[in-house]
Amino acid sequence: MKKILSFAFALLLSISVSAQTPLTEAVNFTSTAHNGEEIDLFEILDGGQYVLIDFFFSTCVPCKETAPKVIDAYYMLGCNEADIYFMEVSPTDHGASYSIGQWFSQFDIPYPTIHTKTGGDTGDKIREMYQINSYPTLILIAPDHQIVLQNYYPHSAEEMVEYFTTNFDIEESYCSDQTPSVSVEKTKVDGATGKDLIEASTKVYADFRANGAVKEFYYTISESANLTAEDVIADGERTEDREFTHTFEGLKESTKYFVYAQAIGRNGENGELSVIETRTLCPGDAGDVEIELSVQVTAAYVIANATPNESTAEYHFGFVKKSYYEEGAVEGVFPSEKQFIFLNSLVNDDYPLCDADSYQVPIKNEETGAPRFEPNAPYYVVAIGRNGEGEWFKPIIKEFIVEQPVGPATVELNVKPMATSVTITATPNDYAVEFHFGLVKKSVFDEYGVEYVIAQVRNDGYPAYMTTSASWDNLTPETEYVALGSALNAGGEWGETAIVHFTTPAGDALEEVNANFNIYPNPAKSMINIESSLNGEAQVSIFDMTGRCVKQTVVEMSNASINIEDLNKGVYFISVKQDSNYNIQKLVVE
């Protein structure tokens, strides 16, 4: 059977639960904790209290498992007002950071926390003092400054309290500051992350954990989202167990359920009502998951079709670039971290599927024209599913390529200048998969050179993919400018850059230029004719794709013809300028 037992794939670094400091005697430190409390270690010890220090960092999985147990023990041993004083130290997290903020929010830490941005001796400095290298590390310091426990990992708060009260001069002294509550979570596969949860077609698995303030609690499952504490107590199961996993069986398939837990405090009063939403899967049995995949690439879409077998109770599928998915993987040995990230995001996409389905994605973004798939690069469509018992199976993969012909990529520039502004419209050819265009003063163009300016345009951070217009304001009248456009083809090659020289009209000519004209024939071989509404003489200039003026003449616009036999085959830009009237068009010479 091709099962996946955990999406974690053993990517997480191994963290020792037998970590310890090599010291046998405490080193003093002074600090200001996250809650403003002033900490002087020796002052606390000399006052007759033991001190428990929990060294942690907020993204450490075993640290997260340990924290609730230590918090419960804190309340069961007097809330730092009895024989033992609790604190925690983080050598990596810092104040106002996302990670430590999440830590405080998730666990509602009641005792002082020292990290890298607290006052005085910071968490990283204290870690160095105590030579801590693995997490979590819990050490217990006696009032005589001796480190009496340095290799300890609590399995429960009760075990922790019993161990301390049995082996040290510490008495249980419960304080009533803790609100009775029971955490309820969906059961995860060992080492799992995200939605790698144990769910099934007719079963729901739930983890319950009562905190130290709970005497007993009641739990039940219901299709109703509105049960009250009284409902749960009346119809639910009673338990005095503190932590266990329960399987609710005989449920409806493909149904949303709610799991409840009602805590009863040590004083017999109701605590918090906890509830989580869960669901059962589509119909499926305990057999192997098989999903048939096919991919069709059309001119506009990539269409993936998935057909699951009868054992499949849920599946997800999506697209990923092959090079990304395979990066760092060793076939038959271990998957890549990128595979873990992709598969974890796939099963967290909130689109669980049961029956045959189709996934259609446009090849290009419909608004911007940006390609969604890199042309001529291999991609995977990946499907992953689980059976009716909730067992995940290895991904099923189908490879495909979105092909695009590779040729010289060009972009045509249409320049419409005014006295203090210009609008440039850039139109790519069929080989262009990305292009950039921009504007510089001719003085800058001449000073830095064509290669430098082209490099700046190509790296402007504003790629375009389909015909695009842009305007530049605050230009200087009667000043020479240069417009440039450069396109990239599917082979990653830059084509010949379009370079158009133009001069803004005089400052008193604020109306839009209207030197509209028509060139024929176009394409042309030897002669071109110009039709225009203009009368009188006008200056005609022809520029090649590098922006070099290859021909310039003055013609009578009522009967304008120009010999172009001396021009090589290629694409040119022809400009007509008369007083404040100015326009540019493309000319193709065959």
Tell me the per-residue pLDDT of 292-330, one tens digit each, with 9 for 90 and over: 999 999 989 999 999 999 999 999 999 999 999 988 766
Same-domain pairing of 443 and 569: yes
Sign of the CA dihedral 8, 12, 17, 18? positive
Q: Of 98-102, 350-354, 491-495, 574-578, which gets the smallest average pLDDT?
A: 98-102
- pLDDT for the residue 207: 93
Same domain, 258 and 313: no
**Gap between the Cα atoms of 45 and 174, Å rounded:** 21
- E-strand stretches of 476-569: 480-489, 498-503, 517-520, 527-532, 537-543, 549-556, 560-563
Give the per-residue pLDDT at 418: 87
Task: Label residue 505 by pLDDT band (50, 70, 90).
Answer: confident
SS3 68: helix
| In a domain? residue 573 | yes
CATH code of the domain containing 99: 3.40.30.10
- Number of Cβ within 10 Å of residue 56's Cβ equals 28
Q: Is residue 113 part of a domain?
A: yes
What are the Cα distances from residue 275, in Å, to 235, 237, 304, 444? 15, 15, 38, 67
Banded pLDDT at 59 (limits 50, 70, 90): confident
- Cβ 316 vs Cβ 195: under 8 Å: no
Cβ neighbours for 167, distance < 8 A, ≥ 6 positions apart: none
pLDDT at 196 over 70: no
CB 495 within 8 A of CB 486: yes
Q: Is 367 exposed, middle or buried (0-12, 13-18, 19+ CB in 10 A)?
A: exposed
CA distance 158 to 70: 10
Give the whole-angstrom CA distance, residue 42 versus residue 57: 24
What is the secondary structure of 335-401 as a DSSP string?
Answer: --HHHHHHHHHHHTSS--B-S-EEEEEESB-TTT--BSS-TT-EEEEEEEEEETT--EE--EEEEEE
Same-domain status, 436 and 327: no
pLDDT of residue 197: 64
Q: What is the pLDDT of residue 517?
A: 77
The pLDDT assigned to 4 comes to 47
Q: Is the dihedral of CA 9, 14, 15, 16 positive or negative?
A: positive
Distances (CA, A) of 177 to 44, 72, 164, 172, 313: 22, 11, 21, 15, 45
* H/E segment holding residue 259: strand 256-265
CB 379 within 8 A of CB 321: yes
* Statement: residue 181 has pLDDT above 90: yes
In a shared domain, residues 358 and 260: no
Question: Looking at the domain assignment, is residue 580 inside a domain?
Answer: yes
CA distance 446 to 442: 6
**pLDDT exceeding 70 applies to what percent of the chain?**
90
Token pair of 49 as six digits? 């209290």
How many residues are recorded in the chain? 590
**Reported confidence tier of residue 2, pLDDT bands at 50, 70, 90:** very low
Residue 104 pLDDT exceeds 70: yes
Q: What is the band of 515 on the pLDDT scale with cuts at 50, 70, 90?
A: low
Tell me what the mean pLDDT of segment 77-93 comes to. 92
228 lies in the same domain as 350:
no
pLDDT score at 148: 95
| Per-residue model confidence as pLDDT tens digits over 409-426 | 999 999 988 888 899 999
| 247 plus 321 within the same structural domain | no
d(CA 91, CA 113): 11
> Are residue 418 and residue 560 in the same domain, yes or no?
yes
- Domain assignment present for residue 481? The answer is yes
Q: How many structural domains does the chain have?
A: 4
Q: What is the mean pLDDT of residues 266-283?
A: 93
Residue 497 corresponds to which tokens in the numbers above? 């850059």
- Of 136-145, 373-382, 506-515, 574-583, minimum mean pLDDT range: 506-515
For 218-263, write each residue's pLDDT tens digit: 999 999 999 999 999 999 999 999 899 999 999 999 999 999 999 9
The yes-or-no verdict on residue 506 having pLDDT over 80 is no
At residue 171, the pLDDT reads 95
Final residue of a structural domain among 123, 142, 167 = 167
Instruction: Give percent of the chain above pLDDT 90.
Output: 61
Bridge-based pairing of strands 84-89 and 113-114 is: parallel
* Cβ–Cβ under 8 Å, residues 182 and 274: yes
Residue 464 shares a structural domain with residue 567: yes
Minimum mean pLDDT range among 343-347, 429-433, 516-520: 516-520
How many Å apart are CA 93 and CA 221, to the nearest integer? Answer: 39
Q: What is the mean pLDDT of the chain?
A: 88
In sequence order, the β-bridge partners of residue 347 are: none
Among residues 401, 423, 441, the one where a domain terminates is 401
Residues 395 and 419 reside in one and the same domain: no
pLDDT above 80: residue 582: no
CATH number assigned to the domain comprising residue 234: 2.60.40.10
CA distance 184 to 239: 14
Q: CB within 8 A of 132, min separation 6: which ones?
A: 19, 21, 55, 91
Q: Specify whether the CB–CB gap between 153 and 17 falls below 8 A.
A: yes
Q: Are residues 426 and 561 in the same domain?
A: yes
The parent domain of residue 327 ranges over 297-401
CA distances in angstroms from 490 to 376, 430, 493, listed in the order given: 7, 10, 7
What integer pLDDT is reported at residue 199 of this predicted model? Answer: 83
Sign, CA torsion 547/548/551/556: positive
- 25 and 142, same domain (yes or no): yes
Is pLDDT above 90 for 43? yes
H helix intervals, 174-279 = 229-235
pTM: 0.63
More confident residue, 103 or 219: 219
Identify whether 107 is part of a domain: yes
Helix (H) or strand (E) holding 263: strand 256-265
On whether residue 406 sits in a domain, the answer given is no
**Residues 470 and 416 sit within 8 Å (Cβ to Cβ):** no
Domain end point (choices 373, 401, 429): 401
Does a structural domain hold residue 26? yes
Q: Which pLDDT does position 546 carry in this prediction?
A: 60
Residue 582 inside a domain? The answer is yes
Side chain identity at residue 577, one-letter code: K
Amino acid at 490: A
Quick one: pLDDT band at residue 547, thresholds 50, 70, 90?
A: low
What is the Cα–Cα distance from 423 to 416, expressed in whole angstroms?
Answer: 5
Question: Could you tell me the two tokens for 262?
Answer: 């009602």
Of 254, 253, 273, whose CA–CA distance to 265 is shortest?
A: 273
Same domain, 421 and 397: no
CA pair distance 254, 281, nearest whole angstrom: 5
Range among 292-306, 363-377, 471-485, 515-529 rated most confident: 292-306
